Chain A
Amino acid sequence: MFQYDERKLKDQLLELIRLAATDLPKDVVESIQAAHTDEPEGSAAKSVFGMILKNIELARAESTPICQDTGTNIYLVYIPEGVGMRKLTSLIKEATAEAVDKSYLRPNAVDSLTGKNSGNNIGEGQPFIHFEEWDNDFIEFKLMLKGGGCENVSTQYKLPDVGLGAGRDLDGVYKVIVDAVNQAQGLGCAPGILGIGIGGDRAASHLGAKTQLFRKMTDTNSNPDLAVLETKLKGDLNKLGVGPMGFGGNTTVMGVKMGSMHRLPASFFVSISYMCWAYRRHSMTLNIKGEVSYD
């Protein structure tokens, strides 16, 4: 039976939140550095990437949020058999409220009916926590902070799409993604990273798209067709010229990550989860000895 020290775990979760809010992952920083190198001297895009890189360093050094919109806090939690979900949920919420007190997170949960901010980032559906049971003998918490600007340009298409000439195949998938990124312009804080969910019902499709965003920038899709399409899309989308913040430039997206799931014969959804350049995600594993490691 997997056991853990609750008080200790709450503090370890708080550290996970601090890391997610203030410390951009290495693979993301390297992508931004590459984008910076790729822009011509004296261009607005070069200057924007330069300021972004400085901001990343400053946030890390001072332990302050990279972006004031600390987003929806999205957790994927993988647990061994028998570990209770309710206790973990309450510890995550406790750590969340403490993170607001420490100014790592903004109070970001607003009652949709009254407009009242809960003040501690906790509310119905906030933070978002998705549990899965697995065979490993440790717990893994994956956390992503996804801001409102990029969530607002995220979207879902239903194939066929007559206006775009997009049929029910990978070519149709390609077309709607090009359209979505063109519509988004700089509004999602470009350059973006795209998580794509193909198939499912509407809800599963969006969740599938978000789950793709937990992959590393540098990995390769295990499905060879999707691997080819990811590379093609990244190249073609960068021809759009939207650039960082929509100021124009060579990098409009830094990565495309795609996954598929089964669908009903009648439905063919393509969900596009647009993530901003402030691609804040970290993970933490907790082993049976109570030791944690962060990635």
Chain B
Amino acid sequence: MIKLQLPISEAAIRELKMGDEVLISGLMVTARDAAHKYIHENWPDWLKPIMENSMIYHCGPVVKKHEDGSWSFVAAGPTTSIREEPYEAAVMEYYKVRAVIGKGGMGEKTLAGLAKSGGVYLHAIGGLAASLAKSVVKVKDVYMLEELGVPEAFWHIEVKEFPAVVTMDSHGGSLHKSIKAHSDEVAKKLIFG
């Protein structure tokens, strides 16, 4: 198990390899479909200090608002990442984001982007919402809550020992590609005999 502390350098991220299990601590930000669309249309400066050498978490949480106005995460597993495929490589390069955390993996465009700008794809376990919410120790801030709604807002969170697996690295390795290549062969035999 490799411990990663955020912010993290490009060099440290390039050391990670497909299959590495990691525990992440530090500040990161959630962003999913509407947030990525918004970034791609506006490229806002206010995201720079939040994202540089940090990570984007593909997550639309269940949250709780406390009487003092503060928030906490109640359920916070990953959402499917491939929907951000059109945007992610450009977002990571522009903001120097060192990893995205999600589920299901991403495609060729992102894989090439990881190699170019120095990043990894981290797979969290889908449906692990109760456990992963425990790893979110603090909600530091929330941006664009009114415009985007709870699941789609940018939640700036502090995590502690958040578990994930490197399934795409900066050297062209993708677990998703190798699993698919194997299952394609099996499916072909089952379908065509």
Is A103 located at the chain interface by the 8 A CB criterion?
yes
Taking the nearest CB of chain B, how far is it from the CB of A19, in angstroms? 15
| Given A165-B191, A178-B190, A246-B179, A59 contacting B129 (CB threshold 8 A) | yes
| Given A115-B34, A241-B183, A68 contacting B59 (CB threshold 8 A) | yes
Interface residues of A in 65-123 (CB under 8 A from B): 65-70, 103, 105-108, 110, 115-117, 119
| Per-position binary interface string of chain A over residues 173-194, scored 1 when its CB falls under 8 Å from any chain B CB and 0 otherwise | 0010011001001110100000
| Given A165-B191, A182-B184, A66 contacting B62 (CB threshold 8 A) | no
CB nearest neighbor in A for B149: A117
| Given A69-B79, A106-B62, A149-B103, A164 contacting B127 (CB threshold 8 A) | no
A265–B63 Cα gap in the complex (Å)?
50
- Classify the interface of chain A: helix, strand, loop or mixed: loop
Taking the nearest CB of chain B, how far is it from the CB of A103, in angstroms? 5
CB nearest neighbor in A for B179: A248
* Count of chain B residues with a beta carbon within 8 Å of a chain A beta carbon: 48
CB nearest neighbor in A for B73: A68
A247–B183 Cα gap in the complex (Å)?
12
Of the stretches A2-10, A44-52, A206-214, the one at the interface is A44-52
A69–B62 Cα gap in the complex (Å)?
8
| Given A51-B128, A245-B123, A116 contacting B187 (CB threshold 8 A) | no
Asked if A164 contacts B191 (CB within 8 A), the reply is: yes
Option from B63, B129, B133, B151 in Cβ contact (under 8 Å) with A108 = B151
A158–B68 Cα gap in the complex (Å)?
55
Interface residues of B in 163-191 (CB under 8 A from A): 163, 165, 167, 175-176, 179-180, 182-184, 186-187, 190-191
A116–B149 Cα gap in the complex (Å)?
7
| Per-position binary interface string of chain B over residues 72-98, scored 1 when its CB falls under 8 Å from any chain A CB and 0 otherwise | 001111011010000000000000000
A248–B59 Cα gap in the complex (Å)?
23
Interface size on A, as a range, is: 35 or more
Note all chain B residues with C-beta closer than 8 A to A110.
149
Taking the nearest CB of chain A, how far is it from the CB of B193, in angstroms? 9
Asked if A186 contacts B104 (CB within 8 A), the reply is: yes
A242–B148 Cα gap in the complex (Å)?
34
Asked if A64 contacts B133 (CB within 8 A), the reply is: yes
Taking the nearest CB of chain B, how far is it from the CB of A283, in angstroms? 21
| Given A106-B151, A185-B183, A67 contacting B133 (CB threshold 8 A) | no
Is B192 located at the chain interface by the 8 A CB criterion?
yes
Asked if B190 contacts A239 (CB within 8 A), the reply is: yes
Interface residues of A in 112-151 (CB under 8 A from B): 115-117, 119, 147-149
Interface residues of B in 42-83 (CB under 8 A from A): 59-64, 74-77, 79-80, 82
Note all chain A residues with C-beta closer than 8 A to B104.
149, 185-187, 245-246
Is A30 located at the chain interface by the 8 A CB criterion?
no
Is A278 located at the chain interface by the 8 A CB criterion?
yes
Option from B80, B125, B134 in Cβ contact (under 8 Å) with A51 = B125
A276–B154 Cα gap in the complex (Å)?
26
Closest 10 CB pairs of A and B: A117-B149, A59-B130, A68-B75, A182-B187, A278-B127, A189-B126, A65-B75, A187-B104, A68-B129, A240-B183
